[in-house]
Amino acid sequence: MSLSVVILAAGKGTRMKSATTKVMHKLAGKALVEHVINTAKTLSPQNLAVVCGNGAEQVTPLVESMAATTVMQNEQLGTGHAVMQAQAIFADAEQVLVLYGDVPLTQPATLEQLLSCGDQNSLRILTTKLANPTGYGRIVRNEKNKVVCITEQKDADETTLKINEVNSGIMVLPAQWLKNSLSKLQNNNAQGEYYLTDMVALAVADGLAINTVCCDDNAEVAGVNTRQQLAELERHYQLLQANTLMAAGVTLADPARLDVRGDVTIGQDVTIDINVILEGKVDIADNVTIAANCIIKDSSIAAGTEILANSMLDNATVGANASIGPFARLRPGTVLSDQAKIGNFVETKNANIGVGSKINHLSYIGDTDMGSSVNIGAGTITCNYDGANKHRTTIGDNAFIGSDSQLIAPVTVAEGATIGAGTTLRKDAASGALTLTKSIQKTVAGWKRPVKKKAK
């Protein structure tokens, strides 16, 4: 059956107390509505539209970047009115799935179940049961347990308020019936709005079958209206990610102190300590160890590598059995080969580090092509920027760079060359030779240290 998806995302989100419209607030590093669009795409709909209103200038660029259609609801008159604006989207479809841009954690499997719980001429509703259903529309059933209507909180009597099965708002409706019936919606209710939930009573009157799927995990249908609710869903989402990783063979020191903010692939026997953030597209192979407080973004790490505490990797590629940190920073364009070592307080950028090479501490290596088995002494800097342009440094295999050296790019250190400590290298260094710059040591008698000038 052909499917169109309509995502309602026009609300202002006043309770968020933010200049950012509600559906653009982020959960696990992605906008709420982005989660919903990604979930909808797993169903392979023929059309996917997002109904925008408040904050449309924020939402539209994201929707367009995800190859979805934007529909405007310039005046917000309720969920039914929002669906009216999207009628052209489902004109040629057989069924319509209505989702919400502020309900980010609905699972594809749940929606598949909803789609398959009735034929194309039935109306299907995703429900859940709450210990405290206050604020939600109640699922009202007859003596045969058939759904007869959905009653909103503000319109419910005392008996209806005791019902704990509630409407998630997520529905599948026959497209042509929906198109023909939307004009029958009325706004004679406490809010003065056109409720999409009133379609249920219309469906009953027209003799349509009403089917429901009750969702066991309340978080799948939980909406975000406040920052507190957003934080609760964030922790729920992260616990789901942690459980998935542990089931796949990952050891987590504390599942409550891991944040996954992207698409992560992790091998077996990986150990991750507390307060680690994995962001963007991250690939981690078997037997990798990641210590506390590390941030890894858009990077790949080969098997057996150890990342020590408080290190940051951003758009880096790391080989097997490498060692990184503590307090190391691998910036975009860093390629670290097998068995290489980046030590404490070392920063790299746009650098190719060869097999077994070592940069142990307190150095900056940028715009560099480094061979294998190179040793970089403490305090070494590749001076790659002349104030206007970047230049590259080339370091051959088995070179040794003494501590506190500055390599002024563009410059080449040949294979097997040795650079003496404190050297400022402005010309290429020869293979197999010692290159150094130095001044003669002397003592100046009677010299006094300068003193700080007093402010006038």
Query: In this structure, what is the dihedral angle of CA atoms 353, 355, 359, 363, given to the nearest 10 degrees?
Result: -10
Q: What is the pTM of this model?
A: 0.89
d(CA 9, CA 3): 19
d(CA 270, CA 426): 44
Superfamily of domain 227-435: Hexapeptide repeat proteins (2.160.10.10)
pLDDT at 449: 64
Domain ranges of the chain: 3-221, 227-435
> What φ, ψ does residue 110 adopt, rounded to 5°?
-65, -40
d(CA 252, CA 240): 13
Contact residues for 401 (Cβ-Cβ < 8 A; gap 6+): 374, 375, 376, 377, 380, 395, 407, 413, 419
| DSSP 8-class letter at 222 | -
Do residues 307 and 329 lie in contact, with contact meaning Cβ atoms separated by under 8 Å?
Answer: no
pLDDT tens, N- to C-terminus, the chain (456 residues): 799 999 999 988 999 999 999 999 999 999 999 999 999 999 999 999 999 999 999 999 999 999 999 999 998 899 999 999 999 999 899 999 999 999 999 999 999 999 999 888 999 999 999 999 998 899 999 999 999 999 988 889 999 999 999 999 999 999 999 999 999 999 988 888 999 989 999 999 999 999 999 999 999 999 999 999 999 999 999 999 999 999 999 999 999 999 999 999 999 999 999 999 999 999 999 999 999 999 999 999 999 999 999 999 999 999 999 999 999 999 999 999 999 999 999 999 999 999 999 999 999 999 999 999 999 999 999 999 988 999 999 999 999 999 999 999 999 999 999 999 999 999 999 999 999 887 677 767 786 766 877 877
- Residue 245 is inside which H or E element, if any? helix 227-247
Beta bridge partners of 172: 97, 124
> Quick check: do 3-221 and 227-435 share a fold?
no
Q: Name which of 432, 388, 379, 434 is nearest 407 in CA terms.
A: 379
- Residue 270 is inside which H or E element, if any? strand 270-272
Do residues 319 and 334 lie in contact, with contact meaning Cβ atoms separated by under 8 Å?
Answer: no
pLDDT at 443: 67
Q: In whole angstroms, how far apart are CA 136 and each of 130, 189, 222, 227?
A: 9, 15, 11, 19
Do residues 368 and 391 lie in contact, with contact meaning Cβ atoms separated by under 8 Å?
Answer: no
d(CA 373, CA 382): 18
Do residues 357 and 374 lie in contact, with contact meaning Cβ atoms separated by under 8 Å?
Answer: yes
pLDDT at 417: 95
Tokens for 167, please give them: 């409407």
d(CA 348, CA 379): 13
The tokens 């009325």 sit on which residue? 186
Q: Name which of 91, 145, 102, 99 is nearest 125 in CA terms.
A: 99
Which active-site residues does the annotation give?
Answer: 361
- Residue 32 is inside which H or E element, if any? helix 32-41
- Pairing label, strands 165-174, 147-151: unpaired
Do residues 280 and 261 lie in contact, with contact meaning Cβ atoms separated by under 8 Å?
Answer: yes
Superfamily of domain 3-221: Spore Coat Polysaccharide Biosynthesis Protein SpsA; Chain A (3.90.550.10)
Tokens for 139, please give them: 């699922």
Tokens for 130, please give them: 């709450």
* 235-273 b/e (C-beta count within 10 Å ≥ 16 → b): ebbbebbbeebeeeebebeebebbbbbbebebbeebebb
